[in-house]
Amino acid sequence: MKHLPNILTLANLFCGTLAIIFALHAPSFIATYQGQDYMVTAPPPVYWASVMIGIAAICDFLDGFAARLLKVSSPIGKELDSLADVVTFGVAPGMIMYQLLRGAWMQQPDAMEVSLLSVLPALLIPCFAALRLAKFNLDERQHTEFRGVPTPAIGLLIASFPLLMLYDHTVLHVWLQTIWLLYVLIILLCILMVCDIPFFSLKIKGFSWKNNVLRYVLIILVLISIPFLKWGVVAFAFALYVVLSLGKYWFFPD
């Protein structure tokens, strides 16, 4: 049982690697049109990458829970967790963002002339995720709160985008196909990961309202919004988490 946390961490990594495969793998098949066979490349099933990241996030939560429950911890477990998170919540979301940028550029009139450089900003996501995790491992202040937005939150936000485009055809669906907005989003998420602003932890210690007011407000508002926002609830939860943390930082500093 003492190896259960590390097994869950490796399950996180396994799902993160699968997410990358789903994000990049474009299946091909032969189609017949007017008696002629053609090799057709289908769009990559990016939404399955989103599902894998969601499952990995559950494993990421459970490995810490199991470690605390079994009262086992080790330096290798801490390092393994960070390495898995770089892949699952850094590289895999970066590949999703790459596909979103690629899809947005392919809708332009000059799509065939678009340079590879146009989609490379997506790779900033894994780079800044790695930097964020390296800082987390060395920063002694991050035991009770975070400095910068945690990488799982960034990864889950980006993972929600393909599902939002697949099932929720609202204004958000249009925004996610807007090139300049995707660039702005990449820059904003990278800044949030490495900034020195404190963000509250979602771990509930005790059940008193006073010690968990921000957590309870976040949970209650997110639960209320689910029937109305559907898949957009992930983006709403992320935005609310950032707003509540910034509000506490600006108006109620410790």
CA dihedral 66, 145, 88, 95 (to 10 degrees): 170
- pLDDT tens per residue across span 164-177: 888 776 677 778 88
- pLDDT tens per residue across span 1-40: 677 888 899 999 999 999 999 999 866 555 555 666 555 4
Phi then psi for residue 15, to 5 deg, are -65, -35
Domains and CATH numbers, the chain: 4-196 (1.20.120), 198-254 (no CATH)
Q: Exposed (0-12), middle (13-18) or buried (19+): which is 138, by Cβ within 10 Å?
A: exposed
d(CA 231, CA 104): 20
Higher per-residue confidence, 165 vs 55? 55
Name residues whose C-beta falls within 8 Å of residue 136's C-beta, 6 or more positions apart in sequence: 82, 142, 146, 147, 150
- pTM, to two decimals: 0.88
DSSP code at position 144: T
- The number of angstroms, rounded, from the C-alpha of 158 to the middle of its chain's C-alpha atoms is 5
